[in-house]
Amino acid sequence: MNEHYKTIDSEVWNGRIDDEKDYDAFRWHQIVKPINLFETKDKCLKGFGLLGFCCDKGVQRNLGRKGTSTAPNSIRKEMVNLPCSFSQETNIYDCGNIVSKGAELEDLQEILASAVYKMLKLELFPIILGGGHEIAYGHYLGIERYLSEQKNENLGIFNLDAHFDMRPYKNGPSSGTMFAQIADRCETQSKEFNYMVAGIQQYGNTVSLFKKADKLNVKYLMARDISRDTMFSVGQDIVRFTKKQSKIYLTLCSDVISSAYAPGVSAPQPFGLHPEIILKLIKTLIQSGKVMSFDIAEVSPRFDEDNRTSKLAAIIVFAVINSVVEFGGASD
């Protein structure tokens, strides 16, 4: 475990200081607390936990563009000077990084599952920074483990993505197979597979994948049907989905966003969604009060221009935290 889990270097959280006493002038680097997730003795921290998944093995297996392993610290760099626009009681902990260092993808996903489980036990709202979208399987396993100790808690998965990520995995899992793996796991455990995805591109998914989604009763919204003009009906579709779930795991693949705003991703999408629409969809989900965890995947600094995609990812995390605080979660 220790070989593949590293606490964050405190030097990462250094930035400009406008005032050392006035909280209204504070920036994130002044309040983020680095911790060793697996050594903390606290029974309850409450707040938000940031964790990096420095891995692109799933992307490589999926024949995508490698580069996502450096994303967590690149996104952190863009978070450093974000303003503390939430209440002073809000805590943000940096729980470090999971690093590949020659490990197999499946082992790293198990480590991620243990980390997510520990964060939830500490009453933290996990925010996982990818890394490839293979992050989703490990993240799900951690939530599943935690919810198995709760009563009557069914989980819905909401994915913002250009792809279903339900490809066959007979030759091993990748960043394109996670939700097929989860569906199969749900079947073996006699659980419902509650999966909704928004932003699907017809040119990015085979006919077979659409048929599989229909067979598994996956709810999906095509990117072409999501716009400012359709936000009311889209919001209604999301509300219908959230009402049927006890808890929701929210995951975002950066390739759902138009490459005009997110050029540094594994699979750029020229017809992707506008960032403002992404933020509205996220807020609609969080308003349900059921979102318990979030991750953002497929940011690839290797292909980024002026850190635009990392900056966008940081702003999305900023919006998630502020929305969760606004609707009464993850604070003392």
User: pLDDT 10s digit of each residue in the chain, 332 long?
Assistant: 578 999 999 899 999 999 999 999 999 999 999 999 999 887 888 999 999 999 988 888 887 888 899 999 999 999 999 999 999 999 999 999 999 888 899 999 999 999 999 999 999 999 999 999 999 999 999 999 999 998 778 999 999 999 999 999 998 899 999 999 999 999 999 999 999 999 999 999 999 999 999 999 999 999 999 999 999 999 999 999 999 999 999 999 999 999 999 999 989 999 999 999 999 999 999 999 999 999 999 999 999 989 999 999 999 999 999 999 998 755 44
CB 136 within 8 A of CB 174: no
In a domain? residue 332: no
Beta bridge partners of 251: 159, 295
- Residue 332 has what pLDDT? 44
Q: What is the CATH number of the domain that holds 317?
A: 3.40.800.10
In a domain? residue 52: yes
φ, ψ for residue 67, nearest 5 deg: 145, -10
CA geometry: angle at 51 spanning 50 and 52, to 5°?
130
Domain count, the chain: 1
CB 199 within 8 A of CB 160: yes
- Residue 331 has what pLDDT? 46
CA geometry: angle at 141 spanning 311 and 59, to 5°?
50
Q: Which domain holds residue 176?
A: 2-326
In a domain? residue 273: yes
CB 323 within 8 A of CB 86: no
In a domain? residue 331: no
In this structure, what token pair is assigned to residue 3? 């070989």
The DSSP letter of residue 296 is E
In a domain? residue 200: yes
- Residue 330 has what pLDDT? 55
In a domain? residue 75: yes
In a domain? residue 269: yes
Q: Distance (Å, rounded) from C-alpha 186 to C-alpha 164?
A: 17
In a domain? residue 168: yes
Q: Distance (Å, rounded) from C-alpha 71 to C-alpha 265?
A: 10
Q: What is the pTM of this model?
A: 0.96
- Residue 153 has what pLDDT? 81
CA geometry: angle at 294 spanning 218 and 16, to 5°?
150
Q: Distance (Å, rounded) from C-alpha 89 to C-alpha 112?
A: 27
- Residue 42 has what pLDDT? 79
